A = this chain, B = another copy of it.
Amino acid sequence: MGEFELISHYFAAAACAQAGDGVALGIGDDCALLEVPAGEQLAVSTDTLVAGVHFPHNPDPYLLAQRALAVSVSDLAAMGAAPIGFTLALTLETANTDWLQAFANGLDQMARACSVSLIGGDTTRGPLSLTLTVFGRTPKGLALTRSGAQVGDLLCVGGYLGDAAGALPLVLGQRSDDSTAAKALLQHYWSPQPQLALGQALRGKATAALDISDGLLADCGHIAAASQVCMQIEVDKVPLSASLQACADDQAARQCALSGGDDYVLAFTLPAVELSPLQTQGWPVHVIGRVVAGQGVEVLDGYGNKIIQAVGGYQHFGRDGG
């Protein structure tokens, strides 16, 4: 079976999930064709996941596909974009039919959950890795960027932090735990839920936004740098799930929430006046700090003392890498 047949056979479901909505021509030609209504812009993001770097070697293909697509779609949520479609570049050691079928099922599951369809791709032989490029649309001028945070804004997140980092020892097989709490953490790691509806609800309200992939401190550092402000976090206000608190002691849980990556929860800045209406409408908006004059990120303890003044988080190439 050739390259084209391989893709079209196994990924037909994901390709059909939402075909037609903004997709004028899908998989199978030299290019796909997208339509963007007048007055809207197309949001585009690319992410690569490599075996042994972003996920363990020999992952469950169903879970891998779910996670890879969710991670990419989360960037659309962070821009306040409504999803249209995605391309998948899949590099595999061998074309095993069971593996491909399970992978395609996971992809289809997440594609349906996110209302996004597969519009094209490439399948090649090589060390296992995936590159997804996702497409969405936003009304012109209303995309949520990282550069608009204003001194005085509230710093908010859209949900619990640290669950994915809490799951990591389980994912890597360093620890085993059959508890309900541990299963919930693993669920969060493998099947993050992009906050698409929240992102769209924040259009015209949030002054800056992103999704937390590198860790709260590192990602707040990105907003701080782009907006030329300082992000002040009150550590006691960072929301922790009951599952994480059941699986880790207080200090470890806090460390996961501040520096762990892979949560794919939105972090955003909000003028104070916008808070109450959003909370009244039931959106998950947790205030964890504020935007102040300065630069970088500060973490305050319950007494208002600075306990961290730095930017951390996982980065793929360290300073010693270059």
Q: Which residue numbers of A lie inside 8 Å of B, CB to CB?
A: 1-4, 6, 24-25, 28-36, 38, 41-54, 75-76, 78-79, 81, 87-89, 91, 94-97, 119-127, 129, 131, 133, 135-136, 138, 140, 143, 145-147, 209-211, 222, 226, 315-317, 319, 321-322
Contacts and interface: CB of A to CB of B under 8 A. Distances in A.
Nearest to A54: B124
Contact of A138 (B1, B33, B145): B33
A96 B320 CA distance: 11
Which of A87, A140, A147 has the most B CB atoms < 10 Å from its CB? A87
B31 A76 contact: yes
A121 B47 CA distance: 7
Nearest to A79: B31
A6 B317 contact: yes
Contacts of A122: 46-48, 131
Contacts of A315: 2-3
A33 B2 contact: no
Contacts of A125: 50, 53, 316-317, 321
Contact of A33 (B42, B51, B147, B319): B42
Copies of this chain per assembly? 2
A2 B221 CA distance: 12
B91 A50 contact: yes
A120 B81 CA distance: 16
Contacts of A226: 28-29
Given A31-B43, A48-B89, A211-B30, A126 B127 contact: yes
B133 A87 contact: yes
A96 B152 CA distance: 42
Contact of A44 (B87, B124, B143, B319): B87
Nearest to A100: B322
Nearest to A77: B30
A81 to B, nearest CB: 7
Contact of A45 (B1, B24, B30, B136): B30
11 contacts: A1-B322, A6-B317, A30-B78, A31-B81, A32-B45, A36-B42, A42-B42, A45-B87, A46-B120, A53-B126, A124-B316
A178 B46 CA distance: 40
Nearest to A120: B46
B52 A126 contact: yes
Given A53-B126, A95-B322, A131-B122, A31 B44 contact: yes
